Amino acid sequence: MENQVVTQSPEGSGGLALSGLYRVIFSPVDFFNDLKKNPKILVPYLFLIVILLLSFFTLKDLILDQQIAAMAEQGQLDNAPENIRQIMMITTAIGMVLYAILGPLVIAALGYMFGNMLTDNKVSFMAVLSVAIFGEMLFSLTGLIMIPIMLAKGTMMASLSPAILVADQGMESFMYVLLSKISLFHIWEIIVVGIGLSVFYEVPRNKGYILSVLSVGMVSIIHVVIAGVKSIM
């Protein structure tokens, strides 16, 4: 029998979305059971954008220094305008917003496709999107832990993954990108999204983890493939 996710609840949009900031970390099972009754999109999307922009503007000097250094290595600064730093700050901030919007959409599209294909239940795309947004929010929130470390070291080269062993190759190198996907935060996001998908699709936890790998994990694989292609061009 096909089950449809219920989307009506008396709880206000802000209440469940706001509590999700910490419940997705400390009690994800209970949180996703509540979210299933009342999926949230707009408010958590706004929270995600704010978190990413907060991270960017806190680290903007390090980020811009790294981008300008990369341009200098490639000889792209010769004809650059004098206000290149201001231009890069604006374009990077816009890129952060686009990433916050498109990232969960891609994850949700994959989760929706594989979830409806590999399970007997049918869940709406918007419901799966709500799981993806909170998964990305978890990743962004936990990533805030690294900000003091980066500021103290004066570099973006800080990671809770084996990527730190190849930091000398650069953050855009194939090996760095590959090993960075084995970080504590990536694994945590896959686990939490897997819990959410298992609750929404009413499947065993292991199957939820498979769906998470096929969605969250697939986005990471795409990133690694792109880095690999760039490395041989």
Which tokens hold the place of 146?
């690294």
- Give me the pLDDT at residue 152, please: 92
CA distance 189 to 212: 9
Comparing CA positions, the residue from 131, 213, 132, 145 lying closest to residue 185 is 145
pLDDT at 13 over 60: no
Which tokens hold the place of 91?
């374009």
The parent domain of residue 118 ranges over: 13-232
- Give me the pLDDT at residue 232, please: 84
- Whether the CA torsion 53, 56, 61, 66 is positive or negative: it is negative
- CA dihedral (195, 50, 127, 11) in degrees, to 10, reads 100
Q: pLDDT tens digits, residue range 212-233?
A: 999 999 999 999 999 889 888 7
CA distance 76 to 72: 6
Residue 1 included in any domain: no
Q: What is the number of domains present in the chain?
A: 1
User: How many CB atoms within 10 Å of residue 52?
Assistant: 21
CA distance 134 to 191: 12
Query: Which DSSP string do the residues of 187-216 spell out, in sequence order?
Result: HHHHHHHHHHHHHHHT--HHHHHHHHIIII
pLDDT at 7 over 50: no
Please, which pLDDT band fits residue 14 given cuts at 50, 70 and 90? low
Mean pLDDT of the chain: 89
Which tokens hold the place of 32?
């996703």
- Give me the pLDDT at residue 69, please: 83
Is 7:124 a contact under the CB 8 Å cutoff?
A: yes
Is 108:131 a contact under the CB 8 Å cutoff?
A: yes
Please, which pLDDT band fits residue 173 given cuts at 50, 70 and 90? confident
Over residues 103-110, the mean pLDDT reads: 96
Q: What size, in residues, is the chain?
A: 233
Residue 34 included in any domain: yes
- Give me the pLDDT at residue 1, please: 41
Q: pLDDT tens digits, residue range 110-127?
A: 999 999 999 999 999 999
- Give me the pLDDT at residue 4, please: 45
Q: pLDDT tens digits, residue range 134-170?
A: 999 999 998 899 999 999 989 888 888 999 899 888 8
Residue 6 included in any domain: no
Q: pLDDT tens digits, residue range 65-75?
A: 988 887 887 77
Please, which pLDDT band fits residue 8 given cuts at 50, 70 and 90? very low
Residue 95 included in any domain: yes
Residue 3 included in any domain: no
CA distance 101 to 16: 20
Residue 79 included in any domain: yes
pLDDT above 90 as % of the chain = 67
Residue 148 included in any domain: yes
Q: pLDDT tens digits, residue range 81-96?
A: 878 889 999 999 999 9
pLDDT at 176 over 60: yes
pLDDT at 43 over 50: yes
- Give me the pLDDT at residue 6, please: 41
